[in-house]
Every structure is written in structure tokens, then in C-alpha cells.
Chains A and B, each alone.
Chain A
């Protein structure tokens, strides 16, 4: 968890009966995030989920996964250059929600030359994965939520979510899907 040392932890308590993609355990804690949904800060911790293997991960080849809830599409990528929240030996592995924070479409086009996800197929928002999912150009009013990762041996694990995922009113609450 060395990638989280700069973060501020705030204990909030348990979620309300959420069904997690990773299993049945409840999230642990929340870490502060700016109330306007921009970079750095906030994380909600969920049970650890193995996403990828260091030994098999190739630079610029995304790995798609759902986290923490089923249907919350995310992507992990080895950027090829170190970034503040990157993990792995090169500090360049990051993961983000793929659900556009404009109107919820699935953003799957990773452009390795520019380290951006997008444009979103619906309204063309593009997100910078070097800069915490910042909106490069587009209509989303929040950065892409970031999935915080840790490395354990060869395993790359997801541990927490930073930011409110499109459609949800509460990161901890799966809503009426629960």
C-alpha cells in the first residue's frame, strides 16, 4: 500500500448490504476526496481483488475488469511511464473506471500514444490517465474514478475506489440493485 502513503484516511463505517464483485465482505474505510470530484484524495476500500499478473502484463495493453461491483467496468493499464499513483516496479500501472462520468457510456478506447482513455463513444469526453483521469476535453464534470492498486508478488490487486462512479449516489451503496 506504499502508493497510498500521501493519502488521508477517514473511517466511515460499513456499507449497506452491497454485493461486491470480489465477494461478500464490506468495505473498510474512506479516504478524503475533494467534494467536487477532482483528483487526489478519496478512496473507498473494498475487499482485495486480483486483476492481473505483473509477469503477463504488457505495456499499453489494457486489462478490463469489473470493480468493486459487478457492472462497474474498469480498466487496468501499464502506461510505460511512472505516475504518482502508479504501482509495479516501474510505478506505471494504474486502473480507472471505464464508465464515463458524463452520461455513463463505456469508454474503451485506450490511446497509448497520449495515455488517454477516450473519446467516449457517446459525447467524446477524453480522460488523461497520467493525471488522475482528468478530463482532457469533454463534457464530464468529474474525473474518471480511479481504482487504487497494490502489488503482492506477481499479483496486481485492486483495493479501493477513488471517486463516485456514474449512476451511483454513494460509492458505498449499490442502491436498488443490492
Chain B
């Protein structure tokens, strides 16, 4: 506890101003950064501070600096004052400078040698006899390059793996994937959130609809918002508070939990469809059946835009051929099962029949005027049953004409921002995995668990905790990195011999490129100290395809390097051509042609920049925090944005039509029987909460977050708590003997958490943070992608466990256990 008085130094009028967007959720609010010398500050009069306002600043001004918006960090070798404040001048996204609790404290993310972020990795390290010791960059790059080459020479490309964030800026992802997928040519490449590369919402894609087709203004334009599997107030905050709630749409909210948005929906004329975990497919199919039964579908849209059987037969993509349905076939499927009647769906999903019917009527207008309905969804839908749920919700949207029109869209809301601009195509032909004779992106975690990955480069993720069956995966990592004797020397040549001996004996070498230690670091042989947000100039899209420049605030601390520089150095050391960029702008410009034709297409921006004789990043900078909505095109020398996709009612299919897609509820039921609770187990589902984000690398170093959530929690209903003698503040063990691991075997998993007794969850269902350090909820979720063979994804939301009180804590003295779903009364 520091003895700091309650004041914030204001940036003087001549403080350096930069722009940057938030690091966290896919809304990506715009921020301004002010940097200035220590020992100086501005004054409260508008002329005397860089914000240009009189202090105290006014209600809703977007110009107040809270204590969490200020820090000190090292800029050009000197400790400087920095304020990161929501852009009060913003006219898009976070209009007027509103913000979430996450972004509002972005300053506390920056490296502060005197603060809670001072444990950043500062130099590369090698594990020698169990201890991480600093080594030079020359030695580290040489080792990674030689170990990579050794893997390719003595095994094959599939033995060389990279596990990497999918979002951490175009420039970094481009270079990493150019190296891994291109020059090295390995399919053993997967994002931070899934065992395999590829589409996360394949059912929606097979409908022909872009996963991020909507604009935020569609949320405001809509009369009805159908929101499933993610609480927008908690996790896409500004989208809710700026675009959804002020628009006044009635909200149909689908979630097993009665979250804030569920309560808000019910209090404002909407409906909460409180389904049991794993039953989305049945619910959406039942809503669609009721709509068709009543004749409430948008028959004009369907007739004009839905593909016929003959058009489907000509589709080139195997999934669409296999699962695509004409309207008649879709209708016949929906009417083939009693489970899709109102009563059958109530039985299967737990949602009362009258609410299902009311939802069908609300989203279509019933016999009255058709409302503008937008359908939004996220991980509760696609990390439950991936293919079927995304097919069911996508087909339902096509049925009611929700795509491509103002206020009438279907989109993911997004989990993180969109930075996945790849530098090479996925080498699908090399993938060892297939579904019914069709190649699918390889399950890299299964491959790892089978001991076939001899070298794995883990970049910017708490890999172990982020995967299903995390405890078993950790045990496997421990086993594979313990084969043979440890590295005994800091001499790179000796270390190389010892690490390759491990590979030869069936073990695995792990390189971890990170900014902080996390739960996956203990398995790493080599640490590559990386840069982060604000430590170079980068570009990224948000969930409405808004491309902005994220300006550099400071250098990476110590000897840490921006990720792209590390990948490029290894590429050069391996003898590959084309890794000689001087800065991130050169990468941004080189990557532009690869974005062409897709959602991120910014080639027109780079072409215009080159025509104007300026750099691509610099042209993007001129658009400030407003940025540009991609895909972009050039008309008469001017950039033209895309507000929403499919506005021309052309869809992403060979026919250009939208498709209905089979959402096979019987397959889902069989899977639920395998993964669901057994005996006295309860569902242990998981996700984010308002004040935390992802693996908490920032948030365990942020006091306001740690005061609120000092450890992982388990929401448990009052009845389930009483039955176990549990009260809020008790310490719980959550254990299951029925977790399915990466190899399809039954194993154990578990974690601990503090009890948060709340009726936010129904009886039989509990909820926890998905990736709390040391307490990963994914220990009790399935790790077997064979359960979802179409697309090799995990059923992340379908954990289960026995809940047992193992003691008490004193957390109730400092941590609130008040209800988190109170809405204005």
C-alpha cells in the first residue's frame, strides 16, 4: 500500500498525444494517450491541460482521469507520466468517451518498473537444471532456429508446432504465420482458443454469412435483439451501453444464467430464454419450427435469397454439400422430431413453451408488422456444440431475413479483436485429420498428447489452461518435457545437444514467447521475452470490421522485443528470404494483398497510400480512432468503406445465395450424454466476467480487479449451496472423474474456487471464470475434439464436477458477494 494522495497529475498542454484502441474486448473503444515528463503537470484550466477542459470536468464529459488511467512507464529510456483515457471526442464505437472497467484501466497494463507490472520478462531465458537463466538474444534465436531445423530434418513438418494468439495484431500474426504455415509449412498450427486452426462458427459460415457482418449501428436500428451465449453488458460493455440499450430494442436473451442483460431484458419488455447447457440447437430449431408453423417466416426473403436443392448440389465446399438444406428440407427436418414442438423443446431445454412461442412472435412480429430483428451470439453458442449450434442459429436468422439489412443482421459479437491477418495459407493437404474423407485442420493438442510434436513454440497464450481437459494436458506436458536428463549448461551448443536428445527419445521441447510467466511457463525450455500492446505500431479490426492504428506508447521493457522481430530473426536464422522488414508499416503494406477479397480487405488503403506517396500506417493514422470499416475499395481515388456485409444480398457461397444448414439435434443429444454431469456432478460452465479478461495477465496485476476477484469463483444456486452446506466465501473443490482428455480417455480434472451463492445460476448449473491463473475451469471441460469431428473444436462450456466445501476463506471481509444482476428498478 503506497502513501499516494488522491490526485491525478494532469497532462500539460504540450504533452505528446497518441491514439490507441483498447487491448481487450472486440468492441475496441478508442483511447487517447498523453505522455509527458515526470515532475511537470498541467493545470485545471482548459488552456493549461492537454485535455482542453476545465477541471472538475463535467458529467458524461469523457474527460475525467481516474486514478486507474494514469501510470508511469519508460519511454525512450526515461520514466514518463502516461495517461490512457477514453477518447472523449470519439464519434464511433465509444461515442463521447464512454468505456468499460477493463479499458478504463488500460494505463495499468503498461510496464511500470515501480508498479505491479514490473515482473515482465526482460530478456530471453533458458531453463538449466530447472531454473530459468538469462541468455542472449543471439543464443536464443540461434537455439530456436537450430531446434526448428533439427525437427524438420529428423522428423517432419508435423512435428514442428506453433500455438499462437489469433488476434495480436496483423503485423505479428502475419510474420508468425508466414514462417509457420508458409516457409516451414506445418499444419501443426492452432490459435490460442482452439485445438485446430480454422473456422469457429462453421455452421453460420455454411449459411453463407460472414461472422462479423453487422455494424454496431444495426444494434441501435433493430427493434428486437436476439442475443445468445454472451452477456453484452459484462463482456462487450460499450456495445451494450452505447448501441444496444439506448436503441431501445426489446431483447430476447438466451443464456443458462440470469445475468445483468437477462434481467435487463425482462425488465424492459424482453424475454430471457433460460436454457440448460448444451441445448441451444433444440431451442433454435424449435423457435424456427414455431415460426414456420405460424407462417411468420420472411417468405419473401427466403424465396429470393435461400439456395435451392439444385444450387446446393453445385456447391464446391464439402460441408455445404453435406449439410446444406433447401427451405423445404429445413422445414421437413424441423417437423421430423417431437423435440422441436413447443412442449418437446420445453422438455429438452428447460425453457417454458410459452416463452419459446413468445420469442418466435416477438422476433417476427407474429401476425403484425415485421420488426427489424438482429441476431447476435458468441461463445455460449459455439463453444457448447460448435457446428450444430452455429448452423441452427444461422438458419433461424435466414428464416426471418436477418442478414445484410439495417437493423436486420446476424453476427458474432466476438471474444477478442480481429488481428488474424495470415501470411500464408493453411497447408490443409498435410493435415493428418479428416472427417468422412474430407481434410480438416489438424487437432494440434491431440497430436501433442500423442507425443508427435517434438518442438512447440507457444506464443502469447496460457496454452495449458486455455485448452479442454487442462489438468491432463499439463500432465502430458510435464511428461514430454521430462524425457531424459534436463539441460545442464548455458552453453547453447550443449543445450542444443541435450534438447535434441530429448526429441530423439520421444520428448518435446517447448519455447514460450510471452510477456509474463503464466501456468504454461513451467513447461518451457526457452523463454522469449516479448513486447505487447502499445509497444510498437500495429493495426487491428474490431467486431464491426473497423480498422484502426494502435500507436506505440513505449518500448518493450528491458531487452524484450516485439513479436514480429522475434519471428523474423528466427526466419532469417533458418535461411528464409523475406524477413527483413524495417518496421511494422512494411509488414502492414506487404500483408495488404493477402487481405484482399475478405472481411479485412484493406488493400485499397495501401494502394491509396502508395498513390499519395505516404506510408500505409500513416494514412490509417489520419482516420484517428474513427478508422475505416473494411472491406475497403477505391472509387474515384477515394476510399469506400463497408458498413455491413451482404448489403447487396450476395452471400458467401458458390451460388451467392444464403443456405439453411442441418443442425443435427440427435448428434448433440448423444454428445450431451457423454459430456454431461454424472451422479452428483453439476454442470460447471464458464466464461468471462465484467472486470476480468482472458488469461488475466494484466488483471492479476491490477489492484481493482484483484480486490474484486482475488481468486476464481463458482456461482452456485442457493439450493445447490444449501444441499452442500456451502455459503458465499467458502472454498470449494470442483472435481470430476469423468473428464475426457485429448486422446479420448476418461480422466480426472478439477480446480478450486470461492463460493459465490447466487440465483444468477439455476439449480444444477454452476459458473466459473474460464481461465483464472492456478484455477483453470478448463480442467473439467472435455479435451476431445473427436466429440465434434466436423470441425475439431472443444465443448468448452460443458464442464461438470462434484462441488465440495473444503474450508472457509476470509474473502467476505474484502470481496463483495452482492448480486451481479441488479437492474434499474
Contact = CB atoms under 8 A, between A and B. Distances in A.
B67 A32 contact: no
B816 A130 contact: yes
B68 A141 contact: yes
Interface string B1-21: 111111111100000000000
Given A137-B690, A140-B101, A128 B822 contact: no
Given A12-B5, A164-B7, A39 B707 contact: yes
Given A35-B67, A36-B68, A135 B101 contact: yes
B104 interface: yes
Contacts of A8: 1, 3
A13 to B, nearest CB: 10
Interface in A91-135: 101-105, 109, 111, 114-116, 118-119, 121-124, 126, 128, 130-131, 134-135
Contact of A33 (B5, B69, B241, B821): B5
B475 interface: no
A105 B59 CA distance: 6
Contacts of A135: 101, 691, 704, 708
B815 interface: yes
A53 interface: no
B823 interface: yes
A42 B3 CA distance: 8
Contact of A175 (B2, B44, B260, B703): B44
A25 B246 CA distance: 44
Given A122-B60, A142-B66, A172 B7 contact: yes
B8 A139 contact: no
A142 to B, nearest CB: 5
Contacts of B822: 111, 114, 116, 118-119, 126, 136-137
A32 B5 CA distance: 6
B495 to A, nearest CB: 41
Interface stretch (B50-58, B419-427, B463-471, B613-621): B50-58
Contacts of A173: 7, 44, 55
B704 A167 contact: no
Nearest to B96: A103
Nearest to A120: B824
Nearest to B45: A176
Contact of B1 (A32, A142, A166): A32
B62 A136 contact: no
A14 B814 CA distance: 32
A97 to B, nearest CB: 12
B372 to A, nearest CB: 25
Contacts of A123: 98, 241
Given A34-B703, A124-B241, A173-B7, A116 B818 contact: yes
The CB with the most chain B CB atoms within 10 A, among A39, A116, A141, is that of A141
B108 interface: yes
A97 B57 CA distance: 16
Given A36-B67, A171-B6, A142 B60 contact: no
Interface string B87-121: 00000000001111100110010000000000000
B233 interface: yes
B2 A34 contact: yes
A81 to B, nearest CB: 12
Give the interface centre of B57, B108, B702, B818 by most chain A CB atoms within 10 Å: B818
A52 to B, nearest CB: 24
Contacts of A102: 99, 104
A98 to B, nearest CB: 12
Given A124-B233, A142-B704, A170 B6 contact: yes
Contacts of A61: none
Contact of B5 (A42, A128, A134, A136): A42
Contact of B8 (A137, A140, A169): A169
A34 B57 contact: no
Contacts of A136: 816, 818-820, 822
B587 to A, nearest CB: 34
Contacts of B10: 169
B65 interface: yes
Given A115-B818, A141-B105, A142-B66, A167 B707 contact: no
B1 A176 contact: no
B816 A167 contact: no
A172 B56 CA distance: 12
Nearest to B70: A35
Which of B3, B100, B104, B819 has most A Cβ within 10 Å? B3
B3 A10 contact: yes
B825 interface: yes
A52 B77 CA distance: 54
A32 B1 CA distance: 8
A147 interface: no
Nearest to B60: A103
A172 B821 CA distance: 36
Contacts of B64: 103-104, 166-167
B100 A30 contact: no
A12 B69 CA distance: 23
Identify whether the interface residues of A are mostly helix, strand, loop, or mixed.
Answer: loop
Could you say which of B46, B54, B822 has the most chain A C-beta atoms within 10 Å of its C-beta? B822
B68 A164 contact: no
Nearest to B237: A139
A109 B108 contact: no
Interface string A156-178: 00000111111111111111110
B61 interface: yes
B7 A171 contact: yes
Contacts of A137: 234, 260, 690, 820-822
A44 interface: yes
Contact of A109 (B57, B703, B813, B825): B825
A42 B66 CA distance: 15
Nearest to B816: A128
A90 to B, nearest CB: 18
A168 B55 CA distance: 6
Given A37-B704, A114-B822, A119-B823, A169 B7 contact: yes
B7 to A, nearest CB: 4
Interface centre among A36, A101, A105, A130 (most CB of B within 10 A): A36
Interface in A58-96: 84
Contact of B60 (A33, A105, A163): A105
Contact of A119 (B7, B59, B816, B824): B824
B62 A103 contact: yes
Nearest to B825: A109
Interface in B677-705: 690-691, 702-704
A138 interface: yes
Interface in B289-307: none
A44 B6 contact: yes
B393 to A, nearest CB: 27
Contacts of B68: 36-37, 141-142
Contacts of A175: 44, 54-56
Contact of B55 (A104, A119, A169): A169
A36 B60 CA distance: 21
A150 to B, nearest CB: 20
A70 to B, nearest CB: 12
Contacts of A121: 824
A150 B260 CA distance: 36
Interface of A: 8, 10, 12, 30, 32-42, 44, 84, 101-105, 109, 111, 114-116, 118-119, 121-124, 126, 128, 130-131, 134-143, 161-177
Interface of B: 1-10, 44-46, 54-62, 64-69, 97-101, 104-105, 108, 233-234, 237, 241, 260, 264, 690-691, 702-704, 707-708, 813-816, 818-825
10 contacts: A33-B6, A115-B818, A131-B816, A138-B101, A140-B104, A141-B68, A141-B704, A170-B7, A173-B7, A177-B56
Given A137-B820, A176-B44, 9 more contacts: A103-B61, A103-B97, A104-B60, A116-B819, A122-B60, A124-B241, A128-B818, A164-B67, A170-B6
Which 5 pairs from chain A and chain B are nearest by CB?
Answer: A167-B56, A37-B67, A32-B3, A128-B816, A170-B7
